[in-house]
Amino acid sequence: MFVFYSLLLIIGLVVGSFITMLTWRLPRSLSLKGRSACDKCHKKISWYHNIPVASYFLLGGKCANCGKHISLRYPLIEVTTSALYVLAGYLWLYSDSTLLHELRANTPVFSSLFILISLITLHFSLLVVDLEHKLLPDVLTLLGGVVVLLILLTLPSPQLFQHLFWGFLSFLFFLSIFLITRGRGMGFGDVKLVFVLGSWLGFPYVLVWLLLSFASGALIGIFLLFARKAHWKQEIAFGPFLLAASFVTFFFGDIIIKWYIALSS
Ligand SMILES: [Zn+2]
């Protein structure tokens, strides 16, 4: 167990370091090749100064060359990715979720964990870019779509079509919001993302997911408004809510449905 979690923790830190780089370069249309450089003095960062988290603290949060502060986003993204990996490992072992059972029943032992971790990596990258730039890069959404399609292909065909049908329905729902609000309510990136996430979850989980997304979006929106961090006109990116809610639904959808039935009966 200790080895299992340590491995996830370390892989999470390394992938987190990659996500930090990816989410910085992708929205700026920079090449993904080549070593990272300090964004203040542009000096290339040597490999021994590029060890996730550890380097940040060893260097006291400052660039080894120019001494300017390194953004907190580096250790923050690395630690969050690592924590998400460990959490995913724990839930993969112990969660009773129907969707997880389906995934595990239809794939070889460790590949279901690998699939989950790939999705977490892609979705967390999307979340970071959307938070910082209000943008969902097509490349990441498309890659997420490929992983979801691979998952769906392990299902028997009636279930496969059920998932795709609900993905398409969610897509149409968001497309109509997009058209009615003329893109002010949400971006077209959200509309595309919803097709991927809706197909992944299928019925009835799609409904739980949408409810969670809108409820958490409204709550945070009202909170930011009262905290005077946002204005009515300033849009808050909706992608992070859709992305976070999809994982909560994947693992806890059954529990939420049970609560709902218990409350309404
Ligand atoms: Zn520097």
Comparing CA positions, the residue from 90, 99, 102, 124 lying closest to residue 22 is 124
Tens digits of per-residue pLDDT, 205-246?
A: 999 999 999 999 989 888 887 877 666 556 678 999 999 999
Distance 132 CA to ligand 1 centre (A): 22
Q: Which residues surround ligand 1, an ion (CB under 5 A)?
A: 38, 40-41, 63, 65-66
Per-domain boundaries in the chain? 1-94, 96-265
Residue 148 burial (C-beta neighbours within 10 Å; 0-12, 13-18, 19+): buried
Q: Residue 50 C-alpha to ligand 1 middle, in angstroms?
A: 13
* pLDDT at residue 87 greater than cutoff 90: yes
> How far is ligand 1, taken at its centre, from the CA of residue 45, in Å?
9
Concatenated DSSP letters of 20-59: HHHHHHGGGT--S-S--B-TTT-PBPPGGG-STTHHHHHT
What pTM was computed for the model? 0.91
CA–centroid distance, residue 63 to ligand 1 (Å):
5
Q: Does the structure show a pLDDT above 90 at 35?
A: no
CA of 28 to the centre of ligand 1 (A): 19
Mean pLDDT of 23-39: 87
263 is written with which tokens? 């409350």
Chain mean pLDDT for the chain: 90
- How many residues would you count in the chain? 265
pLDDT, one tens digit per residue, over 53-76 is: 888 888 888 888 888 888 888 899
pLDDT digits (tens, 9 = 90+) for 97-150: 999 998 888 888 788 999 999 999 999 999 999 999 989 999 999 999 999 999
Q: How far apart are CA 22 and CA 125, in angstroms?
A: 8
